[in-house]
Amino acid sequence: MTIRAVLFDWDGTLVKNDATRIPAASTSVDAYARKYLGIEVADGEFERAFQAVLPPYKPGEVQTVPTMARLVGEAFTWLGWPAGANDVESCARLFFDTGTLGQEVFDDARAILSSLKYRGYSVGVITNAIFPSHYFQKKVNELGIAGYLDAFVSSADVGLGKPHPAPYQRALADLSMQAHEAIFVGDTPETDIAGARASGMRAVLIERHKRPRDRSGFLVIERLSALNDILGEGPTRL
């Protein structure tokens, strides 16, 4: 079986997040409302409304995925804030930009992405996110990895989150690949691995913070550099 494409999860697999940025992201929307909407807003107002409209999330459950812009619009309605479509979109992007300021690429991720492209593999990302993939374009450029990625799919693009096959199918279509020609690497068995296997792809689990243990039906690695041993020098048969 020839493997020609390698697809990755985003958070926890390729990049690490600064969780302290999330409160700042919500506060940035409060500040926008004060400045551009002329509203007297206390810090924390948008966060309370956002949590009220945000659907609960449980790894492993197939869920419909709203876009961030839709959630911002619902939060504004919940608060009674007057805002047009441009304000909603601006705040959605502001939330994303502020919340991802602390994002960094794992060292082993940068190295493997460069190596895979050099060896002729197609490379892509499939992430569960309320942000459409076009939000990530600027971030991918800032992180210096745009040249390594041939596809980037967010669950918000298709309206369904992993482990549903839809995000995987979109990425495979974008790469013009069949499922048997790709492997997927992620850090969450209930979403990443289950979804990849349901889509007919080989799956690899990365466990960065504990000693990898044998799993039934898929490989487990501790660092992304281990993919070199799995894949070899170029698109090959597994």
**pLDDT tens-place string over residues 190-204:** 999 999 999 999 999
What pLDDT does 214 receive?
57
Q: How far apart are CA 136 and CA 154, in angstroms?
A: 9
Average pLDDT over residues 30-50: 94
Average pLDDT over residues 155-179: 97
What pLDDT does 60 receive?
78
Q: How far apart are CA 53 and CA 74, in angstroms?
A: 7
Q: What are the extents of the domains in the chain?
A: 2-17+103-237, 21-99
For the chain, what percent of residues have pLDDT higher than 70?
94
Question: Does residue 172 register a pLDDT over 80?
Answer: yes
Confidence of residue 236 (pLDDT cuts 50, 70, 90): low
CATH class of the domain defined by 2-17+103-237 = alpha beta
Structure tokens belonging to residue 233? 């020098």
Q: Three-state SS string across 163-220, please?
A: CCCHHHHHHHHHHCCCHHHEEEEECCHHHHHHHHHHCCCEEEEECCCCCCCCECCEEE
Confidence of residue 58 (pLDDT cuts 50, 70, 90): confident
Average pLDDT over residues 149-166: 96
Q: How far apart are CA 102 and CA 26, in angstroms?
A: 15
Average pLDDT over residues 73-78: 97
Question: Does residue 27 register a pLDDT over 60?
Answer: yes
Question: Does residue 145 register a pLDDT over 90?
Answer: yes
Whole-number mean pLDDT of the chain?
92
Question: Does residue 135 register a pLDDT over 80?
Answer: yes
Pick from 115-119, 167-171, 218-222 the range whose average pLDDT is largest.
Answer: 167-171
Structure tokens belonging to residue 91? 């705040």
Query: Structure pTM?
Result: 0.92
Question: Does residue 212 register a pLDDT over 70?
Answer: no
Pick from 20-29, 62-71, 173-182 the range whose average pLDDT is largest.
Answer: 173-182
What pLDDT does 210 receive?
67
